[in-house]
Every structure is written in structure tokens, then in C-alpha cells.
């Protein structure tokens, strides 16, 4: 039986592919365990400079497998608790990773699939792909960091609208609202995401990692604290080999070589 998540390395970019196409890549415990494990592997692999998360088949991810949860031997609450533990580990790995993470949304991204896409740094959506929060339509509340990422991307009022009305969001609408980074023609979302990851991977991962960390933490800190963190970050970037190469390249009027 094929693995439910595949890890494929293509030069400096790694692909983490959800591989349950028969269930629209819905999460069960094994899939989430593999997803978290592969994200840890890519974060630690010095040869990997960017990560693409994608789904096999016609969907990116339909979210939690409710049939799996309803069959859980210890009950529904235990099923959600187990899934959320693994899911949240994966989300934290994405947010803590110093490498850029790109979601290739080839089809529907609903529920936890929506949360997973928003946890990534960038999202390339196929033109016919849809985003949908889906949780409230089933009497549930969001998980996977959706209540953290969504209002930060679109603002509180629009986030409440998305959660309350649960309307599908088209690729063009997602782009205009800042939920998508780029829209690709159908069948080309993965290719565009891999190309974006390759471009990002040629930059300074140390500088990017610090910027990602500072931006993520900025919502929870005072200006004074954030300025101090920026001072620490730029000091450490300046003494890093990539920082030294970038400054030398600037003074020599050439493009820096970071990898």
C-alpha cells in the first residue's frame, strides 16, 4: 500500500505530497504523523532550501477525515484530540522552519486543508481551485492555526465573514484578498510552486529565516521588544557567511551567491 505522504527531492526543493487521492487527501492519524515527520526531515536537511506542499489527485486536501474520527475506539473527542496534536505539530514545523514553504493548491482546500495552506508562507492556486473553511458547516470550530493565520491575512471582519457564511473562495477572490500569492492555469499550480520554491531557495536562507521569524512574532510583541529582536537579528545576519557574501556582492556590484 502506498505511503500516505510522499517526500520527493528535486534539486534544492523538496516536495511533500499528501497521497490519499481517493479521499481527497483527507487527514487521518497516519497521514498527519508522516506529514509532521517529513517536515522535520526537510527542516533538518541542509541540501533542501525550499519546500512545496501539494496534494495528489484532484484535491489539495479536504481536511480531517470525519469517518475516521467517528470510528475512533475512544470516541469523537479523543479522535479530534489525536488528530489536532499531530496536525498542530506539522503547522508549527512550517512556521518555525527557516526555509520558505509554498503550498501548491491544485483543487479544493477545505477545513484542515485550508488551515494547512494558510500555514505555508506562500500559496499558488490553480484557477479552478477553491478554498473553504468548512468547519462551521459541520458544527465545528477551526483548528490548524486557522484562527491565527486567517485574521492576520485578511483582517478580523473578513475572517469572521469567511467563518460565518462558509462560502467557497475562488482563486481570483483569494488573490484579491491576499489568501493566494499567485494564480496558475489549471494543471500548472505544482509547476509554478516548484519554480517559486527554486527561486526562493537561491536567496539567503539565514536572512529569510530571520525575517520570517520576526514577522511571525511581531503581532505578539511591543515595539520596544520587536526593535530589540530586530537588532539581534541583523547583528547575527551580518556575521553569518550569507550576510557577509551579500554585503560583499553589494559593494562589488554583483549578484550574491548564497548556494
pLDDT (tens digit, 9 = 90+) per residue, 21-59?
Answer: 999 999 999 999 999 999 999 999 999 999 999 999 999
- Domain contains 259: no
Mean pLDDT of 139-148: 96
pLDDT category at 2 given cuts 50, 70, 90 is confident
Say if CB 92 and CB 67 are below 8 A apart.
no
Q: What is the pTM of this model?
A: 0.94
- Domain contains 74: yes
- Domain contains 193: yes
C-alpha cell at 61: 486536501
Domain boundary among 179, 201, 223: 201
Mean pLDDT of 15-24: 97
Evaluate if residue 1 carries a pLDDT over 90: no
Domain boundary among 183, 201, 219: 201
How far apart are the C-alpha atoms of 130 and 63, rounded to whole Å?
13
Domain carrying residue 9: 5-201
How far apart are the C-alpha atoms of 128 and 125, rounded to whole Å?
8
What is the CB-side half-sphere exposure of residue 54 using CA atoms within 13 A? 26
Mean pLDDT of 173-188: 98
Evaluate if residue 220 carries a pLDDT over 90: no
- Identify whether residues 167 and 236 lie together within a single domain: no
- Identify whether residues 54 and 154 lie together within a single domain: yes
- Domain contains 47: yes
The count of structural domains within the chain is 2
How far apart are the C-alpha atoms of 97 and 53, rounded to whole Å?
13
- Domain contains 237: yes
- Identify whether residues 129 and 145 lie together within a single domain: yes
- Domain contains 258: no
- Identify whether residues 139 and 235 lie together within a single domain: no
- Domain contains 256: no
- Identify whether residues 133 and 79 lie together within a single domain: yes
- Identify whether residues 157 and 221 lie together within a single domain: no
- Identify whether residues 241 and 165 lie together within a single domain: no
Q: Beta strand 50-55 with 5-10: parallel, antiparallel or unpaired? A: unpaired
Domain boundary among 201, 216, 233: 201
pLDDT at 10: 79
Q: Tell me, what CATH number does 50's domain have? A: 3.90.226.10
- Identify whether residues 63 and 181 lie together within a single domain: yes
Q: What is the spatial order of strands in the sheet that 13-18 belongs to?
A: 5-10, 13-18, 50-55, 101-105, 122-126, 182-184
- Identify whether residues 32 and 140 lie together within a single domain: yes
Q: Tell me, what CATH number does 221's domain have? A: 1.10.12
pLDDT at 111: 97
pLDDT at 63: 95
- Identify whether residues 46 and 168 lie together within a single domain: yes
- Identify whether residues 123 and 209 lie together within a single domain: no
pLDDT (tens digit, 9 = 90+) per residue, 69-121?
Answer: 999 999 999 999 999 999 999 999 999 999 999 999 999 999 999 999 999 99
- Domain contains 32: yes
**3-class secondary structure, 178:** coil
pLDDT, mean over the chain: 95
Which value, in Å, is the radius of gyration of the alpha carbons in the chain? 19
- Identify whether residues 152 and 223 lie together within a single domain: no
Amino acid at each position: 500500500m502506498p505511503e500516505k505522504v510522499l517526500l520527493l527531492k528535486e534539486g534544492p526543493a523538496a516536495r511533500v505530497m499528501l497521497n490519499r487521492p481517493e479521499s481527497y487527501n483527507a487527514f487521518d492519524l497516519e497521514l498527519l504523523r508522516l506529514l509532521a515527520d517529513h517536515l522535520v526531515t526537510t527542516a533538518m536537511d541542509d541540501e533542501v532550501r525550499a519546500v512545496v506542499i501539494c496534494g495528489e489527485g484532484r484535491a489539495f486536501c479536504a481536511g480531517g477525515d470525519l469517518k475516521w474520527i467517528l470510528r475512533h475506539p475512544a470516541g469523537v473527542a479523543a479522535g479530534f484530540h489525536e488528530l489536532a496534536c499531530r496536525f498542530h505539530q506539522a503547522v508549527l514545523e512550517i512556521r518555525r522552519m527557516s526555509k520558505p514553504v509554498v503550498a501548491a493548491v491544485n483543487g479544493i482546500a477545505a477545513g484542515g486543508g485550508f488551515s494547512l495552506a494558510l500555514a505555508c508562507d506562500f500559496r499558488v492556486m490553480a484557477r479552478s481551485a477553491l478554498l473553504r473553511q468548512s468547519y462551521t458547516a459541520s458544527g465545528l470550530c477551526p483548528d490548524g492555526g486557522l484562527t491565527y493565520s486567517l485574521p492576520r491575512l485578511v483582517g478580523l471582519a473578513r475572517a469572521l465573514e469567511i467563518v460565518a457564511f462558509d462560502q467557497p473562495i475562488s482563486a481570483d477572490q483569494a488573490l484579491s484578498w491576499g489568501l493566494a500569492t499567485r494564480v496558475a492555469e489549471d494543471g500548472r499550480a505544482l509547476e509554478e510552486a516548484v519554480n517559486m520554491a527554486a527561486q526562493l531557495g537561491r536567496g539567503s536562507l539565514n536572512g529569510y529565516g530571520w525575517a520570517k521569524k520576526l514577522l511571525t512574532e511581531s503581532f505578539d510583541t511591543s515595539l520596544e521588544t520587536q526593535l530589540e529582536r530586530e537588532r539581534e537579528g541583523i547583528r547575527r545576519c551580518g556575521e553569518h557567511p550569507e550576510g557577509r557574501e551579500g554585503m560583499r556582492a553589494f559593494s562589488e556590484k554583483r549578484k550574491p551567491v548564497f548556494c
